[in-house]
Each structure stands twice: as C-alpha cells, then as structure tokens.
Amino acid sequence: MAIVRLKKGFDIHLLGAIPGNDIAFTSPAKSVAVIPDDFHGVIPRMEKKEGEHVIAGEPLYHDKNDEAIKVVSPVSGTVKEVRRGERRHIDAIIITPDGGTEAVTHDTKGNVLDTLLASGLWVMMRQRPYDVVPSSSVRPRDVFVTAFDSAPLAPDLDIVMGDKRQYIGKGIEVLNQLTDGKVYIGVREGQQLDAPGAVVNTFVGPHPAGNAGIQAANVAPVNKGETVWTLDIVTLARIGELFATGKVSHDTVVAIDGEMVQQPRYVKTVMGVDLETVLKNELTNVAKSRIISGNVLTGVKVDIDNWLQAPYRHITIIPENSKPDEFMGWASVNPNRFSLYRTFTTWLRGRSKPVSMDSRIKGGERAIVRTGEYDAMLPMDIYGEFLIKAIISGDIDKMEQLGIYEIAPEDFALAEFADTSKLELQHIVRVGLDKLRAEMS
C-alpha cells in the first residue's frame, strides 16, 4: 500500500457535524424523483410516460446517443409527472411509490458490460476527460475508486456503504473485466479495507484529497487520448451486489447535517426521496435555512419540496444570509469570524474548531489577480489560474496544454471558495469541458 501525501488544500470545519454512527429510519417516501441533470452527458429519451407503472430497476429513459445506457426507477410505483422546463428540457421525473417490493432481476451470467449498462449503475460513474457518464464504446485505461469523502461535513462512506461492504471484492472483479489497466482505490489514513484485485493507496492531506480525480492525478494522471473512470466505494459495492444477487439495491444512507439541523444524524431511505420526508421536524428555522443537496462546495441549492439528488448521500443545511447588516462588515473584529488568509483573529485558536458560516458570498465578481490561491487549493500538477483564463478565452490549445483532460468542476470547488475574485470556477470549468467535448466529437 503506497502512501500519497498531499500538502495543498484546506479542511473547512463547520458547525453541525454528526456526533455518532447511529442510523435512523425515515417514513416511506411520499414521492421519488430522478433528476436527469445529475447524469451529465446523457441526453434523455423517455421510455415511460406519465401515468404508467414502473417497478424498481425498470428503465425510465435511455441516452439519446447510446440506447444501451439506461436510467432506472429507484422504486415501484406510478410515473406521476415528467416535469419539463425551457425548450422541453426534462427537469425531473417524479414517481409516486406504491410500496411494492417487486424489482428487476438481471442476468449476471451474460455480458458484464450489457448488464451494467442496463442496471442503471453505469450512470453513477464518471469518465475523465470531460467528467461525463462514461461512453460504453471506450475501454478505460484505469479505474479510480475513492473510499472516503473529504468535503465539509461529508458522511463517512463506510457508514453509507453499510452491509454492502461484503460485495467490494465482487465489484473489483467486475471492473477488472472492463479495463486493461488497474483498479485503484484511495483510502484515508487509518481506514481499513479488504480489496483483493485492486491497488490500494492511502491519501494523507486536506480536502480535496477525497476526490477521485485528485487521487488519479497523483497516481497516474490522464493524458490526451486516454480515458479513465472514477466512482466512489458505495457505487463499487452496489456493482458487486448486482453481480452477486442479480438485483440493484436503491436504498441509501444519507447524512443530514449542518448548523440549522436540530439533530444531525444518518438516516436510511431510498434514492431520490422527497426532502419533506427526510427533513420532517429536522430544521430549526425553514425560512432562514439554505438546504443543499450535497456538500456546501459542490452541492445544489434546493427547496424543501424538491428531492435528494445524486450521489444520494448528503444533505447540508446552513444559515441563509444570517447577518446581512453585520456591524463593520469586512472590518469586523469579531473573534469568531472565519478567516482563510488570517485577515481576522480566528486563526489564532486553530483551524480544527468548527465555525459558523452562512450563504453569503461576501464580495462581488472582480478581475483575476495572480495570488496563487487556486494553486494552493489544487493538489494537481497544473496551473489553475492559467487554465481558468484559457477556458474563459476559449483557447482550446492552451486548455489542452494546461491539463484540462485531468480535471472536473469539483476539483475547483475549494479554489472557488477561496477565490477573492468571486468567480464561479466550477461553472467555468463545466463550460470549458463541454466546449472541448463538442469540438472533439
């Protein structure tokens, strides 16, 4: 087992961490939704219509460009609504569960690739370059699996995985059949994992050490013309379970945490559950809370009448603009105010003490200034500031030379947090990747 030490990055410690490992059970979901935007690179073509019945694991839609790639229903029930937005874009497919236990059973004796594509688990993986759902026609050089999440208030993936841990070996066996290279698994220091058939590396360092792309960049970087897949250990265990039992399990353990949660805890529910079910009596003040499906760096702001979005394991709730008229503003001498650059005195008490943060950006967008902020938060062998400038200017040659094939928007999430220019770096990277993909198609 190799040890990889990362010095760049930063751990953000927020109030509202989960104090233990106990898992509570929620009420049955009132509704479940699949959000097509969660699976970037897949253009949905519906296979089910409103009012039709589906069983768990049955396809709801397939990719317009690759009919073999399916997105399936997490529950048995009725397709209540196919909600559309501008230009008939599918915003959500809403299902009313009927409580049935019937589920699709897959033939695990046939072609491994076909089974995985039909199961719906394929869309839970990502491909570098472009950070999209993998193409079924491209065999990856390697596969990278992250066994931990280092984001603020992130759940312990060992707890989320639960008893599916027993299927890790089978999952590795399956992935080894789909690549000519190796299956790499990244664990944090002290984490125990039995992973026969995989290369296990220990990553020591702050966030974003838990990002699969960061781990890949520090073990075997992606070059032009190469393709790798990334996924988390929970998805790996689900793949193993599929080929061991013939069925996909759509239950999930979700961390509900953050400063505005009455009792931060883990709950067991189903993928895509409505937030009203899992957040019932959990919020201290709904009107003054920002609900985030995911973590505070890469998650999506949602309302309580929305649904849990992929990867279906985290809900963070922080104050919504709690102090719009803070006394003295940026010149405040408040000893509890967070400071990344030692602007305030908070750093004197240490970086590990949890702090309170709300949704304010605290500044407006301004020109990029060479401060080294991006590089300090990005443990990859690339020049982050120059890459962002190349993306903004649309210079494809420069983007390639500066390492765009290695990155995903989530890799720049921490740099976006630290950025004094207040640029939406993740959005910029997403636009750049999509443009490059379109040019190369």
Structure tokens at 402: 């500066």
Confidence at residue 397, expressed as pLDDT on a 0 to 100 scale:
95
Structure tokens at 207: 């966030």
* Amino acid identity for residue 166 in this structure: Q
Rg (CA), the chain: 21
> Span 388-408, mean pLDDT?
95
Q: How many helices (H) and strands (E) does the chain have?
A: 11, 19
Q: Which is more confidently placed, 323 or 143?
A: 143
pLDDT digits (tens, 9 = 90+) for 24-41: 998 899 999 999 999 999
pLDDT digits (tens, 9 = 90+) for 311-341: 999 999 999 976 666 666 666 666 667 777 7
Confidence at residue 331, expressed as pLDDT on a 0 to 100 scale:
60
- Please state the three-class secondary structure of 156-174 as a single string: CHHHHHHHHHHHHHHHHHH
- Please state the three-class secondary structure of 77-108 as a single string: EEEEEEEECHHHCEEEEEEEECCCCCECCCCC
Q: Cα separation of 221 and 299, whole Å? A: 26
In the β-sheet with 183-188, what is the strand arrangement from edge to edge?
Answer: 2-5, 199-204, 183-188, 142-146, 228-232, 126-128
Confidence at residue 111, expressed as pLDDT on a 0 to 100 scale:
95
Residue 393 reports pLDDT greater than 90: yes
Half-sphere exposure in the Cβ direction for 295 (13 Å, CA): 23
pLDDT confidence of 1, banded at 50, 70, 90?
Answer: confident
Quick one: the chain helix, strand, coil %, rounded to 5?
25, 25, 50
Confidence at residue 286, expressed as pLDDT on a 0 to 100 scale:
82
Share of the chain above pLDDT 70, in %: 94
Confidence at residue 363, expressed as pLDDT on a 0 to 100 scale:
79
pLDDT digits (tens, 9 = 90+) for 245-254: 999 999 999 9
Of 9-18, 132-141, 337-346, the poorest mean pLDDT is in 337-346
Within 10 angstroms of residue 342's Cβ, the number of other Cβ atoms is 9
Which alpha helices (DSSP H) does 258-372 contain, by range? 275-278
pLDDT digits (tens, 9 = 90+) for 413-436: 999 999 989 999 999 999 999 999
Confidence at residue 323, expressed as pLDDT on a 0 to 100 scale:
65
Residue 385 reports pLDDT greater than 70: yes
Within 10 angstroms of residue 210's Cβ, the number of other Cβ atoms is 23
Q: Cα separation of 56 and 224, whole Å? A: 39
C-alpha distances in Å from residue 252, one per residue of 158, 160, 163: 12, 7, 11
* pTM of the shown model: 0.95
Q: Cα separation of 117 and 70, whole Å? A: 6
C-alpha distances in Å from residue 372, one per residue of 234, 385, 395, 406, 420: 35, 8, 21, 20, 11
Residue 347 reports pLDDT greater than 70: no
Structure tokens at 411: 């890799």
Confidence at residue 355, expressed as pLDDT on a 0 to 100 scale:
86
> Span 189-216, mean pLDDT?
96
Q: Are strands 251-257 and 314-319 parallel, antiparallel or unpaired?
A: parallel
Confidence at residue 346, expressed as pLDDT on a 0 to 100 scale:
66
Confidence at residue 326, expressed as pLDDT on a 0 to 100 scale:
66
Beta strands in 182-276 (DSSP E): 183-188, 199-204, 228-232, 251-257, 265-270
Residue 344 reports pLDDT greater than 70: no
